[in-house]
Amino acid sequence: MAWPWQRTVETRAEERAQVWLVHGAEVRSLSAPDDMIREIFGLALTGPDGLPSGVRERALKCSASYAAIRLISDIVGDLPVHVTRRLANGDKQRVRTHPAEILMNGQANGWTSGAELRRELTAEMLLEGSGYGVVLRNRGGKPVEVQQAKAKRSTDPATGAPVYAVPVHGGGERVVAYADMIEIRALLGIAPSTAAANATTLALLLERFGINLFGANGRPSGLLVFKSKVDATAANAARESWMADVKDSGVAVLGSDANYIPLAISSNDGQHIENRQFQTAEVLRFYGVTPTKAGELQDASLNNSESQARAFLADTLQPILTRWSDALSRCFLTSRERLDHSISFETKALVTADIKARFEAYAQAVGGPWITPNDARAADDMPRIDEGDKLNLPQGAAVRQENKE
């Protein structure tokens, strides 16, 4: 028996090139790169159909889904957050010094504003199914910062409560309790972009069809058919002559024994515009956005714009805002504060009528009397005036009051 160093090792003429990349404490092979590696090196991320390979990438490439994601996330980021306390007499008082107001309306952390954080978490919910933000506290337990995070959700088998695993710098992960995690979760945790994957793919294929068709000057591919038999040399010469004629929108001339037969369906026969309009509405349906809100103004009018704004708020935005309010209340309000505090979004700017209708409504309400002049001025962010907290009696009621006196 030979010693190990005396054995002859069998070698094979086989190339086994393995290059490894260390990225974020993970070792990845460049011989079989995944999407992250391809993205780092700027490689094409395309599937067999020539479209972006990931659901997220396809959603961001499709104009309809991108418009819906941008519209919803931008509006959620723009709406101010109000923390109110219910007083003993039933009135509500805004608590501007509460950590939720300070962080959500100001700076969530040193590099991210509260508006940007809400926008990004909402967009992640629409693209990935959930958006996560970790609440950091001081030693006294007071929230002082919120940071966006990538997290994995699981369930504690003992209590049934959700727990979150957040990657940490240098490798590994830490567990975050549900009281310190702002999670904005889509219905059943399924992102609208995932639910709309097939509709988005068809929309992109229709777009690519238009690119290919109009890239060829609107001429579909076809066959040059000759009545008599031609050899390969003559066929190549005819094809090159044909391509040279039509390349720059020229006029091709066919001989008496040649005929052109288009193979692809034309845009008119295929109802290309109608298909794209239908597919736009199909994609938007998964996000709860009407085509009018996404910029498709074919059915828009001055009469229905206000009603559509109310419908968009009630049907699309309000469920998302409710998830935000619940998540913020869970992380920012103590058990004692939940008895008389609430967190909500100010949405009146979304359904504000035109200035003429608004001023007419103020005149009726102040003279109703339903609200005071200062209430009406505060609705338009105007300063208070002296004696503006008194209700103005209607003109007839004032005369009757004087007669009684």
Query: Over the stretch 16-45, which tens digit does the pLDDT of each residue have?
Result: 444 444 444 455 555 555 555 555 555 546
Q: What is the mean pLDDT of residues 240-244?
A: 68
**pLDDT value of residue 18:** 45
pLDDT digits (tens, 9 = 90+) for 317-327: 999 999 999 99
Please state, in angstroms and rounded to a whole number, the distance separating the CA atoms of residues 38 and 36: 5
> Is residue 400 over pLDDT 80?
no
User: pLDDT confidence of 380, banded at 50, 70, 90?
Assistant: low
Contact between residue 346 and residue 83 where contact means Cβ atoms under 8 Å apart: no
Please state, in angstroms and rounded to a whole number, the distance separating the CA atoms of residues 191 and 56: 10
**pLDDT value of residue 117:** 94
Contact between residue 275 and residue 206 where contact means Cβ atoms under 8 Å apart: yes
The three-state secondary structure class of 328 is helix
| Assigned token pair, 260 | 């052109």
Q: 172 or 246: which carries more pLDDT confidence?
A: 172
pLDDT digits (tens, 9 = 90+) for 96-120: 999 999 999 999 999 999 999 999 9
State phi, psi for 244 to the nearest 5 degrees.
-65, -35
Rg (CA), the chain: 32
Q: What is the mean pLDDT of residues 145-159?
A: 90
Q: Is the pTM of this model over 0.85?
A: no
Please state, in angstroms and rounded to a whole number, the distance separating the CA atoms of residues 252 and 383: 75
The rounded mean pLDDT for the chain is 77
- The DSSP call for residue 46 is B
User: pLDDT confidence of 55, banded at 50, 70, 90?
Assistant: confident
Q: What is the mean pLDDT of residues 339-358?
A: 78
How is the chain split into domains, by residue range?
A: 20-50, 54-217+268-352, 222-263, 354-405
pLDDT digits (tens, 9 = 90+) for 246-256: 555 555 666 65
**pLDDT value of residue 6:** 47
Looking at the chain, the whole-number percentage of residues with pLDDT higher than 70 is 66
**pLDDT value of residue 99:** 93
Please state, in angstroms and rounded to a whole number, the distance separating the CA atoms of residues 35 and 28: 11
| Assigned token pair, 299 | 């059915």
**pLDDT value of residue 49:** 63
**pLDDT value of residue 53:** 78
Tell me which of 226-240, 248-262, 343-357 is least confident.
248-262
First-to-last alpha carbon distance for the chain, in angstroms, is 127
> Is residue 181 over pLDDT 70?
yes
> Is residue 71 over pLDDT 50?
yes
User: pLDDT confidence of 268, banded at 50, 70, 90?
Assistant: low
Please state, in angstroms and rounded to a whole number, the distance separating the CA atoms of residues 339 and 114: 25
Q: 163 or 15: which carries more pLDDT confidence?
A: 163
**pLDDT value of residue 5:** 41
